[in-house]
Chains A and B, each alone.
Chain A
Amino acid sequence: MLAITSLRSFALALVGLWFFLLPSSASALSFTPTATDLTLMPGETLTKNFTLTNDSTVTKNYLTALNLVHFDATTNEPIFDAWPASLNSSVIIDTNDFTLDANAQKNITVTVSLPANTTASSLVLGLIITEVAPATVVQVTPGVSSLIFVTIGQPSVLPVLTGFSASSFIRSSLPIDFTGNIINNGDRTLQPLGTVTVYNAFSKRLATFDINPTVRRIPTNQNRDFTVTWGSARTTGNFFQELWREVTNFKVGFFTAELLVAPFPGADATISQTTHVIVLPWRVLLVVLGFGAIIIVSVRRHKR
């Protein structure tokens, strides 16, 4: 009885996960594009090609799937929702599953075909391709996803520039960060293009910066900060290091920065806002005035 109990306890305490005999093969793939835009009118049909490469050394099987995607209000992270059956006839993948030899490539085509009465709007699709795991074992499989930003017709465009400011109003030297925050309150995914231009007190242009060189998107109901830096980044140093920086990156006076943004490429309307900043290299001024005072005192004593 004791032996049976011990055996049962042993058996109950064991969960066997034996996969030593499985062939070991790296799971690796590459994929392009990783995000894309599709703009079409109601009633129109568009296709988009994606390319998957099996980078492993063995033949692999893959599955494709579509999800609707929305974005977390705080983190902007995509959240993949279940695919609604109502879109089954509007968005079609040309293959649900396929096999790829080692180093072979496969084109996957997504066709978006919308009824003529579709309302102008935006939606985000998530195309997910995952490697198929053999059955009955614990498997770890890689997958890749591409976000497809679909714009249907001419949805409302309502970018709101909620703020544009410098990292601080008074600085002793560069760099100075200028940050603008844009909220997308419209129905179209935005891809802001624009510049921050810095002027001195005499309205002379000193520098211009692209605010969104990587053309990041702002999905509907999301907001995003765009920051440019005037001057080279640096770490804080002691008095003399800071003094040297004030000398070598010398700027002084009252400056105006203007943010000018178009909500997406080709948009007619732009939005703009300005902010101001004072650069006062006080260490340089202190040293100069100190030397000046010494010279004056010396001259006076010499005259006496």
Chain B
Amino acid sequence: MQRRWSLILAVVSLLLLALNVPQVLAVMSSTNYSIGWDSVGVGGSDTSSSATYKLRDNFGFVQGASSSASYQFNSGYRAGVYDRVADFSVNSQLRSSAVAATSATATTVTVTSTSGFSVGDYIAVIQDEGSGQISEMGKITSIASPIITVDAFNGAGPSIDGSNDLVYRLSGSALDLGTLTASAVSTSIIGWDVTADIAQGYSVYIMEDHDLRNADNIAITDVADGTVSAGIGEYGAKSSDTTLASSTFDTADTAITSSLQQVASRSDNSFSTRDFLTLKVAPATAQASGTYSQTVSLIYVGDY
């Protein structure tokens, strides 16, 4: 009996080992080199340049890619060219573009008027505008009044029911916090879009030239307790990126300082990746009136 079981186990083990076939994986690197790509040339020059232009031209190549579990093949002209370029655009909430929102889905928002909105514009959809607002950002792909359709929304996923819900266009660099009062927290959104062919990812950092202050150098105090509250005199911001490693912009209203602080990050290649910052300001009851100014810089830094 024991011998029979041993025989069965031995047969089963041999069968299992026989199925354990090796896989072949071609890797063009070793401990001492790495070849990103190579090519087979047929002669001629494929680049031209002068003081005012640079050209990479080609004729008649067939572009394509194919792969299986064991190989990957990219064909065509300069299929392996890898210029690490980052595109970075920043846009601020345009207060004068406000329209009421009545409902929203995963990629659409219904508004009271689509006037002033165009395909390609960035928009922010805001639920219950104010200190506790919930927002999302998207890029318009089509407009069929009264519905605006975007490519995708990025943000907290507001619930739009037509009560104090608004849509703003994000455009330009002028930050508009509106008319401030001590009895309420005013908000404004800065959105950005990153396309970066950098496998390691990137971070976006924020810094200010000085505090938000008037001509007499009287400033609205930076928030220190994690929440900008009405009447106290506080100024800060919170990011839509909830996964920040080296700042508190993801979890709390945080002061903008003259040092670079992280407000967004990604860990891989990015195509039109978006985040936004909600700036919040509430002057103190005894705040001096006037025009308060500041320059806020958002800096893209590719990971290394």
Using a CB–CB cutoff of 8 Å, the interface residues on chain A facing chain B are 11-20, 22-35, 55-56, 72, 74-75, 77-80, 126, 128, 130-131, 133, 136-147, 149, 193-195, 200, 204-210, 213-217, 219, 250-253, 260-262, 265-267, 270, 281, 284-285, 288-289, 292, 296
Cα-based distance from A285 to B293 in the complex (angstroms)? 72
Using a CB–CB cutoff of 8 Å, the interface residues on chain B facing chain A are 4, 8-9, 12, 16-17, 19-20, 22-23, 25, 27, 29-34, 83-92, 94-96, 171-183, 190, 192, 196, 198-200, 202-203, 212, 214, 220, 245-246, 259-260, 262, 281, 283, 285-304
| Contact indicator B192/A13 (Cβ below 8 Å) | no
29 contacts between A and B (CB under 8 A): A12-B182, A12-B285, A15-B289, A17-B177, A17-B179, A18-B291, A25-B173, A26-B89, A26-B171, A27-B89, A30-B87, A31-B300, A33-B83, A34-B196, A35-B198, A35-B303, A80-B259, A133-B295, A138-B174, A142-B89, A147-B304, A200-B22, A208-B25, A210-B29, A213-B29, A214-B199, A250-B20, A251-B20, A252-B19
Cα-based distance from A23 to B171 in the complex (angstroms)? 10
Give the 3 A-B residue pairs with the shortest CB-CB distance, closest first.
A34-B302, A28-B89, A24-B172
- CB-based A-B contact count at 8 angstroms: 259
Cα-based distance from A12 to B212 in the complex (angstroms)? 16
Cα-based distance from A195 to B29 in the complex (angstroms)? 8
Tell me which residues across on chain B come within 8 A of A193, comparing CB atoms.
29-34
| Contact indicator B22/A138 (Cβ below 8 Å) | no
| Contact indicator B298/A143 (Cβ below 8 Å) | yes
Cα-based distance from A213 to B26 in the complex (angstroms)? 13
Smallest Cβ-Cβ distance to A20: which chain B residue: B96
Q: Determine how close the nearest CB of chain A comes to the CB of B93; give it in whole angstroms.
A: 10
Tell me which residues across on chain B come within 8 A of A144, comparing CB atoms.
86, 88, 299-301
Given the contacts A13-B283, A34-B196, A142-B192, A136 and B293 also touching, CB distance less than 8 Å: yes
Q: Determine how close the nearest CB of chain A comes to the CB of B240; give it in whole angstroms.
A: 15
Smallest Cβ-Cβ distance to A28: which chain B residue: B89
| Contact indicator B27/A210 (Cβ below 8 Å) | yes
Given the contacts A77-B245, A260-B31, A141 and B302 also touching, CB distance less than 8 Å: no
Tell me which residues across on chain A come within 8 A of B31, comparing CB atoms.
193-195, 260-262, 270
Smallest Cβ-Cβ distance to B291: which chain A residue: A16
| Contact indicator B181/A14 (Cβ below 8 Å) | yes
Tell me which residues across on chain A come within 8 A of B300, comparing CB atoms.
31, 34, 142-145
Cα-based distance from A23 to B25 in the complex (angstroms)? 56
Given the contacts A11-B289, A144-B300, A296-B8, A207 and B176 also touching, CB distance less than 8 Å: no
**Residue among B17, B171, B299 with max Cβ neighbours from chain A (10 Å):** B299
| Contact indicator A22/B32 (Cβ below 8 Å) | no
Smallest Cβ-Cβ distance to B70: which chain A residue: A207
Q: Determine how close the nearest CB of chain B comes to the CB of A263; give it in whole angstroms.
A: 10
| Contact indicator B297/A15 (Cβ below 8 Å) | no
Q: Determine how close the nearest CB of chain B comes to the CB of A34; give it in whole angstroms.
A: 3
Cα-based distance from A126 to B34 in the complex (angstroms)? 26
| Contact indicator B172/A26 (Cβ below 8 Å) | yes
